[in-house]
């Protein structure tokens, strides 16, 4: 599969995840509770790769350790796939909900108040 972000749509990825699930008869196993838990578990597995490492150590490993980088890619992919499975289950339009959330964040964090700051919007 020769795919990248410039040539592959969200809908194509959505169809791939639906096909994966359908071929294996997993839909009946994918309850909302379990999909939510799966997102958390997969996120934790991604975070574990960064545990006890400085930002410099992580960047060094990502640059020079191909197996580490591959592991990060796999875990991040698992998080994304789990989120896609939940979006499919809930029949949510990913582009719509992500754009809406970005607009909400932009309103909560106006550039003139938050640029370069790591404060919560209630503290700006």
What pTM did the predictor assign?
Answer: 0.88
Q: Are 8 and 92 in contact (CB under 8 A)?
A: no
pLDDT tens-digit readout, 39-97: 999 999 999 999 999 999 999 999 999 999 999 999 999 999 999 999 999 999 999 99
Crossing angle for the helix pair 10-24 and 94-108, to the nearest 10 degrees = 130
Residues 36 and 50 in one domain: yes
Domain check: are 58 and 21 in the same one?
yes
C-beta separation of 27 from 88 below 8 A: no
Number of folded domains that form the chain: 2
Read off the tokens for 106.
């932009």
- Its domain, for residue 19, covers 10-92
103 and 118 in a single domain? The answer is yes
Q: Which two tokens stand for residue 108?
A: 């909560």
Q: Are residues 105 and 80 in the same domain?
A: no
pLDDT digits (tens, 9 = 90+) for 96-118: 999 999 999 999 999 999 999 99
Question: What's 43's domain CATH number?
Answer: 1.10.287.1080
Both 58 and 106 in a single domain?
A: no
Q: Are residues 71 and 30 in the same domain?
A: yes
- Asked if the structure places residue 2 within a domain, the reply is no
Closest alpha carbon to 36 in 74, 70, 1, 83: 83
């Amino acid at each position: 599969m020769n795919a990248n972000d410039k040539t592959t749509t969200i809908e194509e990825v959505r169809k791939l995840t639906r096909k994966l699930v359908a071929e294996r008869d997993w839909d009946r196993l994918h309850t909302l509770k379990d999909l939510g838990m799966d997102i958390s578990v997969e996120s934790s597995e991604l975070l574990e790769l960064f545990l006890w490492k400085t930002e410099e150590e992580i960047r060094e490993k990502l640059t020079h350790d191909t197996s580490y980088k591959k592991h990060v890619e796999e875990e991040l992919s698992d998080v994304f796939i789990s989120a896609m499975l939940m979006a499919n289950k809930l029949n949510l339009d990913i582009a719509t909900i992500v754009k809406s959330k970005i607009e909400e964040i932009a309103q909560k964090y106006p550039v003139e108040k938050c640029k370069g700051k790591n404060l919560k919007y209630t503290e700006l």
